[in-house]
Amino acid sequence: MTKDLPTKSTSELNSPEVELSDLFDPVPESTDSLRKKLKQKRKETQQDLRLKKPTVQKLIPVKRPAPKKTVPVVPPSRRHPRLKRAGIVGGSLALLGLGSWIALEVSLPDTTHASYTTTVPAGSMTFKDLGGAVFFQSGPISRNAFKAADIPQKVKEAFLATEDRRFYQHHGVDYQGIVRAIATNIISRNVAEGGSTLTQQLARLSYLNQERSVIRKLREARLAQKIETRLTKNEILERYLNQVYLGSGAYGVGDAAWVYFSKPIDELNLAQIATLAGLPAAPSLYSPLINPEAAKKRRGEVLDRMVREGFIKGFEAAQAKQAELSLKPSSPPNLQDKAPYFSSYMKQQLAKVLPASVIKTGGLTVETTLNLKWQEAATRAVEDTVYLDGYAQGFDQAALVSMEPQTGEIRAMVGGASFKDSQFNRVTQAQRQPGSTFKAFVYTAAIASGLSPNDGYQDTPFVVDGYKPKNYTSKYRGWVPMTTALTHSINIPAVRALIDVGFEPTIKLARDMGIESKLDPYYSTALGGNEVNLLELTNAYGTIAAQGFYAAPHGIRRVFDRDGKVIYNAPSSRKQVLDSSSAAIMSWMLQGVVNEGTGAAARLNRQVAGKTGTSEHARDLWFVGFIPQLVTGVWLGNDDNYKTYGNSGTAAFTWHEYMKRVVAGIPTQKFPELPLLEGRKGSLKAKPVRPGNMYNISPEEAGGKKEGEQEDLH
């Protein structure tokens, strides 16, 4: 099969442009020539691509129909996540802040009784007498406090200018003052100014400690705000000026005026006032007694501030700056305890009626039974007798206690000649033989058993179960009535009366009347052979004065805490232990001792009853006596129990010297009339002693003394 060749027209064939090659099929190229052409073509293509710039084809958006608007449903947990997180954080912070505020409020001390707690500092203790006069204070408390009206205006202005110039504008916390203090301290690069107000300082003094912490400052600020709602500005200023510590043991401006200048605050000049006002910031650093130059510099700063606040003129400040410090240090007038033995006894009694934690916390005000004027009279009587009679009669100590018999309240107590030299209280701690003062209880038991004071005993020597009593004078009168035996302090009848009534009834009655020390059932008990102390002996005599009613001795009436609440009120212990008839008879018999017997030195311009007593070798000299409203006991002797050369008449005279001063303010009152003696029945059942061996001896046989025998008791 032949392939048809392409045909051309005649004209095309005759055309001069027609090539011969166009008339025939091309000759096939070799493989190598074709490969070369392809390679060349590839190179040309690559060169063209490098030379050509790329072109960006603009896209024409295609319009599409708008979708139908729909609100998507979003889960609550995905809505506004940032707002939710902020809410959670804010709520947490709010709860934290509220919790912190509540915790702060709960931790604050109660300010309900701020009128009291800001007056009585924690850790302090104050003792007051019957009339409210302070006679003892301990702890961080002013001994010379003043009312706001009694504090000089310049003193107030000096402290206000220095410590709190916006005192009357703020409500406890001065925010402007805080900013000012921060700025001042930054500029000076030192703590040149504090931001605490006077109220904050009072809050710290009254409720907090000196701890340096943010929590304490926050509590202090909040307490200050509370105080401002309960006290007036004048009350706050008064309490601050009475409590602020001003160095050298001085609390308050009243103390400081004496500590540094020995004068009351109303006599201080401007320079001295400025010196005191500069002390609160650093009492030791600015103390004129320790660092005079620093004190002067600080005084100048105070004066400049007073000028700036318009309290003084410039020339006044200039004059005050030139003044000398004029120091004259001394103790505040009320620093010394005016009744040290009594105060010491009160501390012991407080420990018995209050928990230890309450006493440790302090802030207590104790209303006592003391009469300060009578206490001064008692101190004088004791000091005089030791100074005037002690050397000649061989004693160097004395003690006195005075009580109200109806209540047992102690009105005066002097436990020795000098508390400074010896704190041993001879009223409450010294156990000594009472001598013939104990005869009062023997005869009281005899009278209570139904005997008459006109009944009597043989005053003749005898021996009972080996015991041989004898009289001080070695004289014997035969039969004598009990009233005569007591008046002249005859020993033999007292021992016979004890045997007649019995050990048990006599000792029980003595205990019921107030003797607390151990009493042994010995024959010598009738003559004071057991040991007692002056307080219990005097109180037991008070039972006779109170017509048979016993009242426990005490010196505390009431105790107040810092809130002004009564936390202890002395209970009444009054009870009848002796029938009034027997008490009246004993009062009548004891009057005879003073009027006609051994107690003559105790006489006053009114009725007095009492009894003298002298222990063996006059080691102890006693007198216990009373009027209807007051019973007082006196003891003279030596702590080492060494014998004296005196007699009980000196004790009676000491009693007289005290009583003559105090009875001036006591109305005259008579003892009960002597009751009808005929047909009188006793209130006490006697239990006579049954001696194993008792017999009389002659006065000559009774003359010699045997070792260990009781003698010289009168």
Q: Give the separation between CA 37 and CA 470, rounded to whole angstroms.
A: 172
Active-site residue flag, 436: yes
- pLDDT at site 184: 57
Predicted pLDDT at 620:
97
Please tell me the distance from the alpha carbon of residue 613 to that of residue 437, in angstroms, as a whole number.
5
3-class secondary structure, 14: helix
| DSSP, residue by residue, 553-590 | -B-EEEEE-TTS-EEEEPPP--EE-S-HHHHHHHHHHH
Write out the E strands in 333-393.
364-368
Calpha distance 536→542 (Å, rounded): 10
- The number of CA neighbours under 13 Å toward the Cβ of 593 is 31
How is residue 639 written in tokens?
Answer: 């702590």
Amino acid letter, 82: R
Contact by Cβ (8 Å): 446, 673: no
Reported as type and span, the H/E element at residue 331 is none
**pLDDT of 16:** 38
Q: Which residues of 252-267 are buried (b: 16+ CB within 10 A; e: fewer)?
A: bbbbbbbbbbeeebee
456 to 377, 503, 591, 690, 714: CA distances (angstroms): 40, 19, 18, 19, 18
Rounded CA separation 109/567 (Å): 18
Cα-based angle 69, 74, 77 (whole degrees, multiple of 5): 165
Catalytic choice (206, 248, 344, 436): 436
Q: Select from 411, 358, 427, 404 the least CA-distant residue to 636.
A: 427
* Closest listed residue to residue 131, CA positions, set 374, 377, 396: 374
User: Of how many residues is the chain composed?
Assistant: 714
Q: How confident is the model at residue 112, as a pLDDT?
A: 78
The pair of structure tokens assigned to 539 is: 């109180």
Distance between CA 130 and CA 455 in Å, rounded?
44
In one-letter notation, the amino acid at residue 427 is V
Q: Catalytic site residue 17?
A: no
The one catalytic residue among 124, 142, 157, 163: 163
The rounded average pLDDT for each run of 10 residues, N- to C-terminus, in the chain (714 residues) is 40 39 42 59 62 49 56 56 70 67 67 81 92 92 91 97 93 78 57 72 83 76 90 94 93 94 96 96 94 96 96 96 94 84 96 94 95 98 97 97 98 97 97 97 98 96 95 92 96 98 98 97 96 98 98 97 93 95 98 97 97 96 98 98 96 98 95 93 95 92 50 44
